Amino acid sequence: MNKTKEKSIAAIDQEIIWHPYTQMKTAGLPIAVKSAKDAVLFTEDGEEFIDAISSWWVTLHGHSNPYLAQKIFEQLQTLDHVIFAGFTHPAAVTLGQRLLTHLPSNQSRLFFTDNGSTAIEVGLKMAIQYFQNIGKPRGKIVALEDAYHGDTFGAMSVGGSQFFQGPFGDYLFSVSTIPTPVKGREEEAVNALKKILEEEEVAVFIFEPLVQGAGGMQMYSPEVLDQLIGMCQEKGVLCLADEVMTGFGRTGKFFASDYLENQPDILAFSKGLTGGTLPMAITSCTDEIFQAFYSTDKTKTLYHGHSYTGNPVGCAAALASLDLLEETETWDKIANIARLHEAFSPKIADHPMVKEVRQRGTILAIELQTSEGSSYFSGIRDQLNSFFIKENVLLRPLGNIVYILPPYCITEEQLDRVYEVIELAIQEIYETA
Ligand SMILES: Cc1ncc(COP(=O)(O)O)c(C=O)c1O
């Protein structure tokens, strides 16, 4: 009989794995999750965690959803993968047709990639090459301050975090930024954009519509975004909506762009696309953009692709997720989460530690007062995080911003527990400050 004690998954992990966004020296043992069901994660130590952030904002209908699993299984038995250049398959075509019924009505073509960052790269390439293909090259890109669009070089260039860009700053292309038009800064943003548009030939304006995710769940109104898009489109500037986080119901509508009058020219989406089961992303665009690439001239081709582009299993997962997303019951759940957030907001807003409570649909963000101001690296982040882990709730504060972005299957009871744990954490920090 083998008497040596088996090493835990977490311990083996610590010897061989390099985790994302993690300082491996100080991180401590990761939590090994052996299974998950609906909004609950089950660890190797027999603990249960409520997943209040949809596991990096991907899970829509809950973990290990049997319907999604069945559809993925069926697809795997029929067609696992096929090169997407020169070949196609039914799942991609059906998915394209169905997504177009949900996308803003000016969208007509879909380009597949495999994560949010690459969807952004493709959107930027579409915009830059569009102007070259029509013989009127434009150089400038405009982005919002505090934006986050991913970790590849193009996506980093249009992102706002100097800290993440750190060692790579010299390798990024130049971008003009305007203030995020949060309440009170709308005019500043409009004026900054106006100035740039007067002085430069702008190719593309990129933004996270209504909610900036990693930049601290900052929120702004559809009205001001409409104004910014309108100003751009008047000058022929292409507008790229990064719906990677906001897509698929998170903001209370199918896409955040559905709150707008002015339709973006390009949309990038991922995360919720497959309901949180498989990595896939899509960049969609208008027919006008597509026509600039449609040519017998080979140099006008969009030379971009990935091994798993249009993967049939990812497409089947996305189709299954759409089936569920098209059910009225899902939208009732989305509305109910929004209603519960609304009821909770005033309860926490008055706490002396709370600077602001913001909400858009199923996303609730609570910004805490700190002596250092708002920062991803705020000292209370680790304190909050440890508290949440101790209380078995998965919340991953963005610095001094605690947010909830739950899977739509979360129960009222689970959400109440999440609210309770947040209140307790804030009170503890307040008392120990
Ligand atoms: C708005 C937004 N854009 C792009 C990305 C990058 O997506 P991915 O992590 O899949 O590359 C993210 C990821 O959090 C995001 O929130």
Q: Which CATH class is domain 9-64+328-432?
A: alpha beta
Q: From the CB of 157, is ligand 1 less than 6 Å away?
A: no
**Segment 113-131, tens digit of pLDDT:** 999 999 999 999 999 999 9
Determine the distance separating the centroid of ligand 1 and the alpha carbon of 41, expressed in angstroms: 22
The kind and range of the H/E element at 31 are: none
Q: Which SS3 state, helix, strand or coil, does residue 150 take? A: coil
398: nearest Cα among 46, 56, 91 = 56
Domain boundaries, the chain: 9-64+328-432, 67-325
Model pTM score: 0.97
Strands 202-207 and 107-113: unpaired
Q: Which SS3 state, helix, strand or coil, does residue 21 take? A: coil
Could you tell which of 58, 271, 274, 282 is best to mutate to test the pocket of ligand 1, judged by most ligand atoms within 8 Å of the CB? 271
d(C-alpha 96, C-alpha 73), whole Å: 21
Q: From the CB of 274, is ligand 1 less than 6 Å away?
A: no
d(C-alpha 382, C-alpha 396), whole Å: 9
Q: How far is CA 347 from the centre of its chain?
A: 28
d(C-alpha 7, C-alpha 407), whole Å: 32
pLDDT band for position 432 (50/70/90)? confident
Could you tell which of 146, 245, 282, 396 is best to mutate to test the pocket of ligand 1, judged by most ligand atoms within 8 Å of the CB? 245
Determine the distance separating the centroid of ligand 1 and the alpha carbon of 8, expressed in angstroms: 31
d(C-alpha 221, C-alpha 190), whole Å: 13
- Strands (DSSP E) contained in 277-419 are 281-286, 354-360, 363-368, 393-394, 401-404
Q: From the CB of 150, is ligand 1 less than 6 Å away?
A: yes
Q: From the CB of 202, is ligand 1 less than 6 Å away?
A: no
Amino acid in position 159: G
Atom of ligand 1 nearest to the CA of 279: 10
Per-residue burial over 104-135, b = 16 or more CB atoms within 10 Å of its CB, e = otherwise: beebebbbbbbbbbbbbbbbbbbbbbbbebee
Q: From the CB of 246, is ligand 1 less than 6 Å away?
A: no
Amino acid in position 72: I
278: DSSP letter: S
276 Cβ contact list (under 8 Å, min separation 6): 54, 55, 58, 59, 60, 61, 63, 407
**Segment 69-119, tens digit of pLDDT:** 999 999 999 999 999 999 999 999 999 999 999 999 999 999 999 999 999
273: DSSP letter: G
111: nearest Cα among 296, 285, 297, 303 = 285
Q: From the CB of 266, is ligand 1 less than 6 Å away?
A: no
Q: Residue 371's pLDDT is what?
A: 77
Amino acid in position 263: Q
Mean per-residue pLDDT of the chain: 96
The CA-atom distances, in angstroms, between 313 and each of 116, 198, 244 are 18, 47, 20
Q: From the CB of 211, is ligand 1 less than 6 Å away?
A: no
**Segment 221-252, tens digit of pLDDT:** 999 999 999 999 999 999 999 999 999 999 99
For 417, counting Cβ atoms within 10 Å of its Cβ (0-12 exposed, 13-18 middle, 19+ buried), the class is middle
Q: Residue 374's pLDDT is what?
A: 58
Over residues 207-215, mean pLDDT = 97
Determine the distance separating the centroid of ligand 1 and the alpha carbon of 107, expressed in angstroms: 21
For 147, counting Cβ atoms within 10 Å of its Cβ (0-12 exposed, 13-18 middle, 19+ buried), the class is buried
Q: Which of 92-96, 191-195, 366-370 has the lowest mean pLDDT?
A: 366-370
Over residues 400-415, mean pLDDT = 98
Determine the distance separating the centroid of ligand 1 and the alpha carbon of 191, expressed in angstroms: 28
The answer to whether residue 362 scores a pLDDT higher than 50 is yes
Q: Is 62 left (phi over 0), alpha (psi -120 to 50) or beta?
A: left
The kind and range of the H/E element at 314 are: helix 312-325
Q: Report the catalytic residues.
A: 21, 148, 242, 271
Does the domain at 67-325 match CATH 3.40.50.300? Answer given as no
**Segment 138-179, tens digit of pLDDT:** 989 999 999 999 999 999 999 987 666 789 999 999 999 999
DSSP string, 243-261: -TTTTTTTTSSSSGGGG-S
Determine the distance separating the centroid of ligand 1 and the alpha carbon of 62, expressed in angstroms: 20
Q: Which two tokens stand for residue 29?
A: 């043992």
Amino acid in position 305: G
Q: From the CB of 122, is ligand 1 less than 6 Å away?
A: no
β-strand partners of 267: 241, 284
Q: Residue 1's pLDDT is what?
A: 47
d(C-alpha 2, C-alpha 24), whole Å: 32
d(C-alpha 84, C-alpha 28), whole Å: 41
Q: Residue 166's pLDDT is what?
A: 82
Torsion of CA 418, 420, 423, 424, to 10 degrees: -110
**Segment 271-299, tens digit of pLDDT:** 999 999 999 999 999 999 999 999 999 99
Atom of ligand 1 nearest to the CA of 243: 1
Q: Which two tokens stand for residue 336?
A: 């109910």
d(C-alpha 332, C-alpha 23), whole Å: 40
Q: From the CB of 119, is ligand 1 less than 6 Å away?
A: no
Atom of ligand 1 nearest to the CA of 246: 1
